[in-house]
Every structure is written in structure tokens, then in C-alpha cells.
Amino acid sequence: MARTLDDLARLSGVSRATVSRVINGGPVSEQTRLKVLEVLESHQYRPNLAARSLASGRTGVIGVVMHVDPPLLFEDPYFATLLHGLSDVLSERAAGMMLWLGNRSKEETLSRILGMGLLDGVVVTADMLDDPLVDGLLVSPLPTVLIGHRRTDRDASYVDVDNVNAAETMTRHLIDIGRTRIGHITGRRGTVAAEDRLRGYLNAMHRAGLSTEGLIAEGDFNRPSGAECAIQLMDAGADAIFASNDATAAGALETLRARGLIVPDDVALAGFDDLPFASELDPPLTTIRQGVHGQGSEAARALLELLESPRTPRRVLFPTELVIRQSTIGGSLR
Amino acid sequence: MARTLDDLARLSGVSRATVSRVINGGPVSEQTRLKVLEVLESHQYRPNLAARSLASGRTGVIGVVMHVDPPLLFEDPYFATLLHGLSDVLSERAAGMMLWLGNRSKEETLSRILGMGLLDGVVVTADMLDDPLVDGLLVSPLPTVLIGHRRTDRDASYVDVDNVNAAETMTRHLIDIGRTRIGHITGRRGTVAAEDRLRGYLNAMHRAGLSTEGLIAEGDFNRPSGAECAIQLMDAGADAIFASNDATAAGALETLRARGLIVPDDVALAGFDDLPFASELDPPLTTIRQGVHGQGSEAARALLELLESPRTPRRVLFPTELVIRQSTIGGSLR
DNA sequence: TTGTACGCGTTATCAT
DNA sequence: ATGATAACGCGTACAA
């Protein structure tokens, strides 16, 4: 079985260099090209990536870093969806992807990625305001695309959604339906998403001249925190709750139901993400839809383009969509 | 900044070979070892994997193949959990992992994996009875560990749970609580899990002398199919339903509730998997717990061991646990 | 258009 | 214990 370029060269009666040119598209006469191609097909030749990398510096392998807590990884289809979007694009235009999850410290993960040596580039989820992994990748020579970004990442390549704007839109929606004591359950403080959504909420409230005093409860993106924060907001007399994601909203819903409150009559409820379960809640949840799959595939495309022209950063801001369901505008039949 | 072995050799005043020995544990005098180590640390040296691969044939990179339909990938935490288990072990003992999902055909995926050239081994989920990807990997020179296996894979290395046995246990449980018309909702036919669980069900039923005529409904592991199959089984007069996984059981529960039937008084209900939501159903679901995370980490360990001694296949059959909840033994308060 | 020859960074073999 | 040196498989100037 022919395994190396040399083998094929011998079989084709040409030099190794010529075979290489056939494969990589150099100047070859049509006659020899066909001849070589035939030998090539019939022997199922696969170029050795390691050798190719050593000689050319490129491997077609890109790294994907999703340094998140395991619970988040399982509970939230976000990451699987993202992975799928990335994989869709990479699988047709690159040789493969390497994956790093959050099992080791960020510092160690960074060091391993940089030491890998055979990556063409990296896509990394940047969800924290302060993240040595992201910072390290950005200053490294490795072409990097962020999914989510911080204000300090303006020069970097990234794919993101406009959390501030989306949160403003949602808050305005709650104002539009006549609510005035609108509470917000934040996400985990220190994350970009939490801070930006909080900012959007504050923007809309202040612009409408509404007070937010006592109406901000600190959650952590998880369901239980939603339930707790809802108690706090109810005690503050809220007539609407904007939770920073769907999971927290689901938690809040438990509390409201336990108190015998009707959604949305007594309290309007809204989330963020539009995960599959959002439409199956009772009542179905008003929320913000963000195209997670699209973000993944777009990040992959951005990276591939970045590899072509390394000096031109790519920045993609994804649109979001306000999805109105019965948890805010439901006509209950009472 | 020192990048190559040669640079470090120069800085340490020794030869390239000696530095390599320090790194890979060859015979070096304690004196020079310390000296070299110091230079090594202070210069943050990272060996080039491509070069190492070319010279030694090993990279420390292993492939993970989960060729499943996207919907399954998102809805079911199974895969994220598996990935996490794999990653836990691999992240401390290997350089990294490459991931292939189901975006391309199995044939193409196979060809890409084999062409990669820099993988030390592969872990692949083998859920279908007929799978060219798995077959191709098994006959390839690439050390391979299966997660799940077929009867034809007896010589291969694999990690699996004893589906037949677990399904028997569950069916016996339903018999023990006095049910006689026990229906089974199968998984997607053609998958190992579906066939084995069906077999286990049949074993237990036949052993107890119970008829299964009209009591087997063909599902596909998804929730909607569970709801449909339940209708069929109710019409056949079932007093218990053993669904082939938790999602299908949840679907069946919808049907039962829609018909005003009480679980478990009118119909006992059981699932398989013990996913997080199983205990949150109303009533909480009796099911089979399988250590998915453990299967992932064990598969990784099996592969790493296989790399050490390639001629000795590893086979791990994971224990399962019958988790009894109110959907089968619940004392309702009527 | 084609072939020769060198280099990529490492491991492994052979002397010393 | 240490140091030359030959692979490993490929890409690519350069020469022909």
C-alpha cells in the first residue's frame, strides 16, 4: 500500500515534487496530472498532516475552546448548538477541530493550546469580563476569534450579539404593556452577558423615567437562583420580571406559581435565549431569540477568513429577535 | 524567545539530543538535567507536536467521534456528559482531543479521520447496528475504543452498559408490582440500545409467561413518538409502560394525562437513562440510571491503556441501577 | 514543465 | 552520559 509521496512518485514515474504539485495545485502538464491523479486515487493516498505542518506551517486544524463549568455544559443546549454551528462550517473547509473544555485551569489550558503547535487558529467563548485564557490567546500569535466579547476587545475578531440592545428592547416591551415596577434578575455578575443585559435594562428604565430601586436581584443564570430572586422582587412589589435568561425565568415561574400569582395578569415574565423549553412553559415564555447555531458557524467563517488575511479583524454583531408569548401578553380567561 | 530544541541546546551548552532526553526521560546526569531544566522553564519551551509526531509517530492527540443527528445532540445531555467524561481523563493524560460530529456522511467522516495522520487513537460512539464508520475504524490501524458495541464487536475494545440485563430488571420490577399487560415502547429500531432493551423486555416477559402480543410499539427515542406509542398501548389495554428512554416516557406521560389516567394507579410508567428531568416529572419517573460520565472517562482510560499494549483489547461493561420512583410504586392519595 | 535538494523540529540510533 | 547524525514526510526555492 502506497503511503508516502515518494511511493506515489515512484509508481507514477515522476518526482515527488510533481506529485506534490498535483495535490496542491502547482503548474503541471495536463498529461502528467491525469496520470498522477489516477495513481493517487487508486492508492487511497492520504497526506501526512504532521509532515505537511512541519513543511508549510499549516495543518487545517483549528482549536475550539469552551471553558465553562460542567453543569452549564450539560444543562444548556447553548454549547452543543454552538459546537454544531462551528462544526458545520469547519467540517467542510478545514481538516478538523480540537476541543478544550473546562477541566483544567484557564492558565493550564492556555499553555496547552499554545504548546500544541499544530493549530492554524482558535475560536474561544469569551463570557467573562476577566479571562486570562482569552487575554492570553489574544496576545498570542495564534489567529483568534471570540464568541462574545468585552469592551476591551475592540480590535479583536469576534462574533457576538448586542446584549445591551436586546435587553433594552425587552424592557421597553414590558413598559409598553403598561408595567412600571419592572424587576430584573441579573445573570452571574462578572460575565459579559449579565453586565450588558443589566445595562440594557437600566438604559430603558431610566429613559422611561422609571425607578429601579430594589428591583434588581442578583442571580447566576441558574434556575434555583431565579426562584430565589423572584421572591425578593415580589416582596419589592414588582409587576413584571425580566430574567437574564430562560433558565432563571423558569425558576422565577416556580415561585410565582407557588404564591398563586397569575402570569402575566399579576406579574409579567420574560426571559432571554429562547431555548426549546421556553415555548413549553406554562404560560409560554416571552424571550429574546439569538441564533446560537449561526453564531457558531459565523465564528468559524470569521476564523477561516482571518487565516487568509490575518491583518484584517472580523467583527460580526448578530441580530436578536423579540419573541412575544403569553407570559407577557397572555389574555388569561378569568 | 527560544522556540526550538536547538535554541535550548545552545543556551544550555549541551546537544539537542540531551535536551530531548531531559524532556522525555532518557539517561542524563543529575547535574546537566537540572541545568537544562532551568533553561527550559525560564524560556517556556513547548515542543512542536508536528515534529514530534513525524519523528516518533505519536502526538498525544486522540479523536472523538460522535456521529449523531443534530437534534439528538442538543436535546440529550447524554453527549455533553460523555464528552465531559472523556475530556476529564484525556485532559490530564493526553495533549488534546479532536472532535467529529455528524455533519458529513459517515463515509466521508471516516476518510477524514483516517487521513488525519496525527491521531494516536479514536473513541467512537457505536449506537447503530450497521455503521460503516465504526466498521471502518475497527479495521483501520488506528487503535479504537467503542462506546456501545454490537454483538459482532466481541474482539474490539469497548465500554458499554448491559442494556439487555437492565431492561430485564426493569420489566421484572413491573411484573413484581403486579402488572401483567406490560407494554414496551422501543427506541429507534436498528440501534443497539433499542434492540437490546427490547430483547431484555422480551426475555423477562417470556420467562414470566406473559404475552407481549400487541404490547410492543415502535418509537424512536423522541418525546413525540412516546406520546403516539402510548395511545397505541392504551388501546391494547396495557397496565404498565416501559419506555426505552426517559424522553419517550415523558411523551407517554402526556398522553396518559390527556386521557385522565392516573400514574401509577391506572398505568405504571418507567423510562431508561435517569436524565436530570426524570426526577422532576409528575410523578417522578422510575428509570434505569447509567453512569454516562463514567462511561466517557472509562472509554478514555481504555484507549490510553490500549495505546500502551495494543494487542490487549479492553472491555468494560458498566453497571446500571434501577431507580424506583413514584411512577411505578407511588401511593396516590385518592 | 519537471526534478534536485534543502529545511521544518523532533526522536532514535549509533558512536564515543 | 553525551554528541553527531540519520530518519520522519512534505513543501518549495532553485536549477535545469
Strand partners, A242: A184, A270
What is the rounded average pLDDT for all residues in chain B?
Answer: 90
Q: Does A47 touch chain B (CB under 8 A)?
A: yes
Q: SS3 of A245, please? A: coil
The pLDDT assigned to A225 comes to 95
Tell me the nearest-neighbour CA distance from A284 into chain B, angstroms: 17
For residue B288, list its beta bridge partners.
B322
Judge whether B76 and B247 are in contact, CB under 8 Å: yes
Please state the rounded mean pLDDT for residues B270-286: 91
Residues A305 and B241: their CA atoms lie apart, in Å, by: 53
Tens-level pLDDT at each residue, chain A (334 residues) = 557 888 888 888 888 888 888 888 878 888 888 888 888 888 878 788 888 888 887 888 899 999 987 777 777 778 888 999 999 999 887 768 999 998 888 988 888 888 777 789 999 998 889 999 999 999 988 899 999 998 888 899 999 999 999 999 999 999 999 999 999 999 999 999 999 999 999 999 999 999 999 999 999 998 899 999 999 999 999 999 999 999 999 999 999 999 999 999 999 999 999 988 899 898 999 999 998 899 999 999 999 999 888 888 999 999 999 999 999 997 644 3
Least CB–CB distance from A80: residue in B50, B74, B104 = B74
pLDDT in tens, B79-128: 888 999 999 999 887 778 999 998 888 988 888 888 777 789 999 998 89
Residue type, A76: D
How many separate helices (H) and strands (E) can be counted in chain B? Answer: 14, 12
Give the residue from B258, B207, B254, B263 showing the smallest Cα distance to B227.
B254
Tell me how far apart the alpha carbons of residues B2 and B16 are, in angstroms, rounded to a whole number.
Answer: 13
Name the residue with higher pLDDT: B255 or B115.
Answer: B255
Place of cell 457576538: A160
**How far apart are the C-alpha atoms of B62 and B286, rounded to whole Å?**
37
Q: Is A25 left (phi over 0), alpha (psi -120 to 50) or beta?
A: left
- B40 touching A, CB under 8 A? no
Backbone angles phi, psi at B274, to 5 degrees: 55, 55
Cis previous bond, A27, omega within 30: no
Nearest to A193 by CA among A107, A108, A320: A320
pTM above 0.75, yes or no: yes
pLDDT classification of B333: cutoffs 50, 70, 90: very low
Would you state the cell numbers that stand for residue B192, as one nine-digit string? 443497539
Residue B4 pLDDT > 60? yes
B213 CB burial (10 A radius; 0-12, 13-18, 19+) = exposed
Per CB-CB distance under 8 Å, the chain A contacts of B115 are 46-47, 49
- Alpha-carbon distances of B117 from A49, A76, A98, A330, B63, rounded to whole Å: 6, 34, 14, 58, 11
pLDDT recorded at residue A64 = 95
Place of cell 532551568: B38
Give the per-residue pLDDT at B331: 60
pLDDT recorded at residue A169: 98
Burial class, B92, CB count within 10 angstroms (exposed 0-12 / middle 13-18 / buried 19+):
exposed
Question: pLDDT value at position B2?
Answer: 58
d(C-alpha A261, C-alpha A66), whole Å: 39
* Residue numbers in B 5-44, CB below 7 Å of strand C: 5-6, 16-17, 20, 23-24
More confident residue, A276 or B135: B135
Between CA A116 and CA B100 the distance in angstroms is 19
Among A148, A110, A104, which Cα is nearest to A126's? Answer: A148
User: Quick check: A34 CB within 7 A of strand C?
Assistant: no
Average pLDDT, stretch B43-48? 81
Q: What is the pLDDT of residue B151?
A: 86
- Chain A's closest residue to B112, CA to CA, is A95
The verdict on a CB contact (< 8 Å) between A84 and B95 is no
- Identify the three-state secondary structure at position A159: strand
Contact A148, A157 (CB under 8 A): no
Measured CA to CA, the distance from residue A208 to residue B59 in angstroms comes to 60
A332 burial level (CB within 10 Å; 0-12, 13-18, 19+): exposed
**What pLDDT is stored for residue A156 in this prediction?**
94
Any chain A CB within 8 A of the CB of B70? Answer: yes
Question: Is pLDDT of B334 > 60?
Answer: no
- Helix, strand or coil, per DSSP, at residue B300: helix
